[in-house]
Amino acid sequence: MRRGASACRKSCSLASGASPRAIVTSRVGKALAASLARAIAGELTAVEEAVYQTKNRSSQDPLNFPIRLNNKIAALGGVVASADAKPTDQSYTVFDQLSAALQRQLDRLGTVVKDRIPAFNTAVAALGLPAVIVR
């Protein structure tokens, strides 16, 4: 049984009075919003994976996947805390390197939160979609 024109209009959202152009524009806008969301998610994932090893699932996984900044900083804290003397010059050097690496990641995160997410929210607001709220 072939569908009639009225059935097609209902399934294509034309029954509400929306023009075909509005439907296509809406679909394109939503696809653009989805693309922007994927890009932002990719940037956030890159920061997360630089700071934290996200692939660890079992106790053996730290042997299979490299440690990240959080583990390096924690290990340095253990080394410094285990001595009865003040931290060595090498400990200060490693701390400075790790702090700089972490600051770079925090700066990347700040750029996403301050620039990319507000631009995304503006784009999705024009489509009547909900915004991302950063807390």
Asked whether residue 11 is domain-assigned, the answer is no
Cβ atoms of 12 and 21 within 8 Å: the answer is no
Asked whether residue 6 is domain-assigned, the answer is no
Asked whether residue 67 is domain-assigned, the answer is yes
Over 60: is that where the pLDDT of 120 sits? yes
Is the pTM higher than 0.85? The answer reads no
Provide the number of structural domains found in the chain: 1
Query: Can you state the angle between helices 20-51 and 117-126, rounded to 10 degrees?
Result: 160
User: For the segment 72-114, what is each residue's pLDDT rounded down to a tens digit?
Assistant: 999 999 999 999 999 999 999 999 999 999 999 999 999 999 9
Asked whether residue 25 is domain-assigned, the answer is yes
For residue 71, CA distances in Å to 21, 54, 86 come to: 53, 12, 22
Range of the domain at 76: 19-126
